[in-house]
Amino acid sequence: MQLQFKRRFSMAHRLRFDANSKCLTPHGHNEFVVVSLQARDAGAMRWGNANYAASFADLKRHWHRFVDDSLDHAFQLGHDDPMIGYFRQHEPDLLPRLLVIEGDPTTEAVSAALYMKLNAILAAHLPDFECVRFEIEETPTNSVVLGPADIAACPIRLGEWCHRADMSLNDLLSPEAWDHLT
Ligand SMILES: Nc1nc2c(c(=O)[nH]1)N=C([C@H](O)[C@H](O)COP(=O)(O)OP(=O)(O)OP(=O)(O)O)CN2
Protein backbone atom coordinates (compact mmCIF):
# COMPACT_ATOMS: atom_id res chain seq x y z
CA MET A 1 0.00 0.00 0.00
CA GLN A 2 1.24 3.47 -0.87
CA LEU A 3 0.12 6.55 1.02
CA GLN A 4 0.11 9.71 -1.06
CA PHE A 5 0.39 13.24 0.33
CA LYS A 6 0.12 16.45 -1.66
CA ARG A 7 1.20 19.94 -0.58
CA ARG A 8 1.10 23.25 -2.39
CA PHE A 9 3.93 25.79 -2.34
CA SER A 10 4.86 28.97 -4.17
CA MET A 11 8.29 29.56 -5.61
CA ALA A 12 10.33 31.74 -7.95
CA HIS A 13 13.25 30.78 -10.14
CA ARG A 14 15.09 31.54 -13.30
CA LEU A 15 16.93 29.35 -15.79
CA ARG A 16 20.06 31.02 -17.17
CA PHE A 17 21.67 28.52 -19.50
CA ASP A 18 19.30 28.94 -22.43
CA ALA A 19 19.77 32.55 -23.49
CA ASN A 20 16.67 32.41 -25.68
CA SER A 21 14.36 31.06 -23.01
CA LYS A 22 11.58 33.10 -21.48
CA CYS A 23 12.63 31.42 -18.20
CA LEU A 24 15.73 33.64 -18.05
CA THR A 25 13.57 36.25 -16.37
CA PRO A 26 12.84 35.54 -12.68
CA HIS A 27 9.29 34.24 -12.51
CA GLY A 28 7.15 32.17 -10.19
CA HIS A 29 4.80 29.22 -10.02
CA ASN A 30 2.33 27.82 -7.56
CA GLU A 31 3.46 24.19 -7.47
CA PHE A 32 2.36 20.95 -5.87
CA VAL A 33 4.70 18.36 -4.39
CA VAL A 34 3.19 14.86 -4.22
CA VAL A 35 4.94 12.06 -2.34
CA SER A 36 4.04 8.38 -1.98
CA LEU A 37 5.26 6.67 1.18
CA GLN A 38 5.36 2.95 1.80
CA ALA A 39 6.30 0.86 4.86
CA ARG A 40 9.65 -0.81 4.22
CA ASP A 41 8.38 -4.08 5.66
CA ALA A 42 4.65 -4.63 5.15
CA GLY A 43 4.80 -7.61 7.50
CA ALA A 44 6.13 -5.45 10.29
CA MET A 45 3.17 -3.09 10.22
CA ARG A 46 1.29 -3.01 13.50
CA TRP A 47 -2.22 -3.30 12.13
CA GLY A 48 -4.10 -4.28 15.30
CA ASN A 49 -7.39 -2.46 15.62
CA ALA A 50 -5.90 0.79 14.38
CA ASN A 51 -5.72 -0.60 10.82
CA TYR A 52 -2.75 1.54 9.92
CA ALA A 53 1.00 1.49 10.34
CA ALA A 54 1.19 5.19 11.20
CA SER A 55 -1.31 8.03 11.18
CA PHE A 56 -1.42 10.46 8.26
CA ALA A 57 -0.55 13.26 10.71
CA ASP A 58 2.58 11.48 11.92
CA LEU A 59 3.67 10.67 8.37
CA LYS A 60 3.22 14.23 7.13
CA ARG A 61 4.45 16.22 10.15
CA HIS A 62 8.14 16.76 9.41
CA TRP A 63 7.92 16.86 5.61
CA HIS A 64 5.07 19.35 5.53
CA ARG A 65 6.82 21.48 8.12
CA PHE A 66 9.77 21.67 5.74
CA VAL A 67 7.50 22.45 2.76
CA ASP A 68 5.50 25.12 4.61
CA ASP A 69 8.22 26.81 6.65
CA SER A 70 11.21 26.52 4.34
CA LEU A 71 10.37 25.64 0.73
CA ASP A 72 7.25 27.79 0.39
CA HIS A 73 8.09 31.19 -1.20
CA ALA A 74 11.79 30.34 -1.53
CA PHE A 75 13.73 31.76 -4.49
CA GLN A 76 15.43 28.95 -6.45
CA LEU A 77 18.79 29.90 -7.98
CA GLY A 78 21.82 28.24 -9.55
CA HIS A 79 24.94 28.41 -7.35
CA ASP A 80 26.70 30.83 -9.75
CA ASP A 81 23.74 33.13 -10.32
CA PRO A 82 24.92 36.72 -9.67
CA MET A 83 21.69 37.38 -7.81
CA ILE A 84 23.18 35.44 -4.89
CA GLY A 85 25.86 38.16 -4.68
CA TYR A 86 23.10 40.76 -4.53
CA PHE A 87 21.48 39.04 -1.56
CA ARG A 88 24.85 38.55 0.19
CA GLN A 89 25.63 42.25 -0.12
CA HIS A 90 22.25 43.93 0.27
CA GLU A 91 19.81 41.54 1.95
CA PRO A 92 21.80 38.90 3.86
CA ASP A 93 18.83 38.18 6.11
CA LEU A 94 17.16 36.62 3.07
CA LEU A 95 19.95 34.11 2.35
CA PRO A 96 18.00 31.34 4.17
CA ARG A 97 15.18 31.92 1.66
CA LEU A 98 17.35 30.96 -1.34
CA LEU A 99 17.21 27.37 -2.58
CA VAL A 100 20.56 26.83 -4.31
CA ILE A 101 21.79 23.97 -6.48
CA GLU A 102 24.55 23.56 -9.04
CA GLY A 103 23.42 24.51 -12.53
CA ASP A 104 19.94 25.72 -13.37
CA PRO A 105 17.15 25.14 -10.84
CA THR A 106 14.99 23.23 -13.28
CA THR A 107 12.05 21.28 -11.96
CA GLU A 108 14.06 18.10 -12.65
CA ALA A 109 17.00 19.22 -10.50
CA VAL A 110 14.87 20.67 -7.71
CA SER A 111 12.74 17.50 -7.64
CA ALA A 112 15.86 15.37 -7.21
CA ALA A 113 17.16 17.69 -4.47
CA LEU A 114 13.86 17.63 -2.60
CA TYR A 115 13.47 13.88 -2.96
CA MET A 116 16.88 13.52 -1.27
CA LYS A 117 15.77 15.96 1.44
CA LEU A 118 12.65 13.87 2.05
CA ASN A 119 14.78 10.74 2.26
CA ALA A 120 16.95 12.44 4.91
CA ILE A 121 13.83 13.48 6.85
CA LEU A 122 12.40 9.96 6.67
CA ALA A 123 15.71 8.42 7.81
CA ALA A 124 15.73 10.75 10.82
CA HIS A 125 12.06 10.56 11.84
CA LEU A 126 10.32 7.64 10.08
CA PRO A 127 12.97 5.03 9.31
CA ASP A 128 10.34 2.33 8.73
CA PHE A 129 9.01 4.20 5.68
CA GLU A 130 10.44 5.04 2.27
CA CYS A 131 9.34 7.34 -0.54
CA VAL A 132 8.61 5.27 -3.65
CA ARG A 133 7.31 8.07 -5.89
CA PHE A 134 8.05 11.80 -5.88
CA GLU A 135 6.32 14.33 -8.10
CA ILE A 136 6.44 18.06 -8.59
CA GLU A 137 3.67 19.61 -10.63
CA GLU A 138 5.34 22.81 -11.81
CA THR A 139 2.35 24.06 -13.76
CA PRO A 140 -1.00 22.48 -14.72
CA THR A 141 0.76 21.29 -17.92
CA ASN A 142 4.27 20.27 -16.67
CA SER A 143 5.21 17.66 -14.05
CA VAL A 144 8.36 15.76 -13.11
CA VAL A 145 8.02 12.28 -11.56
CA LEU A 146 10.91 10.41 -9.91
CA GLY A 147 11.35 6.96 -8.39
CA PRO A 148 14.12 5.57 -6.15
CA ALA A 149 16.19 4.47 -9.16
CA ASP A 150 16.29 8.05 -10.48
CA ILE A 151 17.82 9.25 -7.22
CA ALA A 152 20.35 6.43 -7.09
CA ALA A 153 21.46 7.31 -10.64
CA CYS A 154 21.10 11.10 -10.38
CA PRO A 155 23.97 12.71 -12.33
CA ILE A 156 23.35 16.21 -10.96
CA ARG A 157 25.45 17.49 -8.05
CA LEU A 158 22.87 19.18 -5.90
CA GLY A 159 24.43 20.24 -2.58
CA GLU A 160 25.07 18.93 0.92
CA TRP A 161 21.91 20.55 2.27
CA CYS A 162 19.80 17.94 0.41
CA HIS A 163 21.20 15.23 2.66
CA ARG A 164 20.41 16.92 5.99
CA ALA A 165 17.12 16.40 7.85
CA ASP A 166 16.87 20.10 8.69
CA MET A 167 15.22 23.16 7.18
CA SER A 168 18.20 24.11 5.04
CA LEU A 169 17.87 25.07 1.36
CA ASN A 170 21.47 25.92 0.55
CA ASP A 171 25.08 25.59 1.62
CA LEU A 172 25.63 29.36 1.77
CA LEU A 173 25.12 29.13 5.54
CA SER A 174 26.91 26.59 7.71
CA PRO A 175 24.96 23.61 9.10
CA GLU A 176 25.33 25.21 12.55
CA ALA A 177 23.72 28.42 11.29
CA TRP A 178 20.71 26.43 10.03
CA ASP A 179 20.43 24.69 13.42
CA HIS A 180 20.36 28.11 15.04
CA LEU A 181 17.70 29.40 12.64
CA THR A 182 15.32 26.44 12.82
N1 LIG B 1 13.02 20.57 -18.88
C2 LIG B 1 12.54 21.73 -18.35
N3 LIG B 1 12.18 22.71 -19.18
C4 LIG B 1 11.65 23.84 -18.67
C5 LIG B 1 11.53 24.03 -17.29
C6 LIG B 1 11.97 22.98 -16.43
O7 LIG B 1 11.92 23.09 -15.18
N8 LIG B 1 12.47 21.85 -17.01
N9 LIG B 1 10.96 25.16 -16.80
C10 LIG B 1 10.51 26.13 -17.58
C11 LIG B 1 9.85 27.36 -16.97
O12 LIG B 1 9.75 27.26 -15.59
C13 LIG B 1 8.49 27.80 -17.56
O14 LIG B 1 7.83 28.66 -16.66
C15 LIG B 1 7.52 26.75 -17.93
O16 LIG B 1 7.72 26.61 -19.28
P17 LIG B 1 6.73 26.24 -20.46
O18 LIG B 1 6.04 24.96 -20.18
O19 LIG B 1 7.56 26.30 -21.68
O20 LIG B 1 5.72 27.43 -20.47
P21 LIG B 1 4.16 27.50 -20.20
O22 LIG B 1 3.88 27.30 -18.76
O23 LIG B 1 3.71 28.81 -20.74
O24 LIG B 1 3.60 26.30 -21.05
P25 LIG B 1 2.13 26.00 -21.64
O26 LIG B 1 1.98 24.49 -21.50
O27 LIG B 1 2.18 26.43 -23.05
O28 LIG B 1 1.12 26.76 -20.85
C29 LIG B 1 10.70 26.05 -19.04
N30 LIG B 1 11.23 24.82 -19.49
Residue 115's CATH number: 3.30.479.10
Nearest CA to ligand 1 atom 25: 141
Q: Is the pLDDT of residue 125 over 70?
A: yes
**Ligand 1 pocket member 25 (CB < 6 A):** no
User: Do strands 142-146 and 129-139 pair parallel, antiparallel, or not at all (unpaired)?
Assistant: antiparallel
ipTM: 0.93
Which amino acid is residue 49, in one-letter code?
A: N
What's the total number of domains in the chain? 1
Write down the pLDDT at residue 46: 59
pLDDT recorded at residue 56: 94
Integer CA distances (angstroms), 79 to 61, 64, 98, 105, 153, in order? 30, 25, 10, 9, 22
pLDDT in tens, 56-71: 999 999 999 999 999 9
Atom of ligand 1 nearest to the CA of 104: 7
Residue 121 structural domain = 3-181
Write the pLDDT tens digit of every residue in 74-123: 999 999 999 999 999 999 999 999 999 999 999 999 999 999 999 999 99
Question: From the CB of 141, is ligand 1 less than 6 Å away?
Answer: yes
